[in-house]
A = this chain, B = another copy of it.
Amino acid sequence: MAVSEAEAVVMEVLWRAAPRSAEEILAEVGPAQDWQEGTVKSLLNRLLKKKAVKAERDGRRYLYTPLLSREKYVSQESKGLLDRLFDGRVAPLVAHFSEQRKLTKKDVAELRKLLKELDDE
Q: Which residue of B is nearest A80, CB measured?
A: B81
Q: Is A50 in contact with chain B by the CB < 8 A criterion? A: no
Within 8 A of B (CB), among A77-107: 77-79, 81-82, 84-85, 89-98, 100, 102-104, 106-107
Q: Number of A residues contacting the other chain (C-beta, 8 Å)?
A: 34
**B85 lies within 8 A of A78 (CB):** yes
Q: Is A118 in contact with chain B by the CB < 8 A criterion? A: yes
**A103 lies within 8 A of B85 (CB):** no
Give A residues with C-beta under 8 Å from B. 5, 8, 74-75, 77-79, 81-82, 84-85, 89-98, 100, 102-104, 106-108, 110-112, 114-115, 118
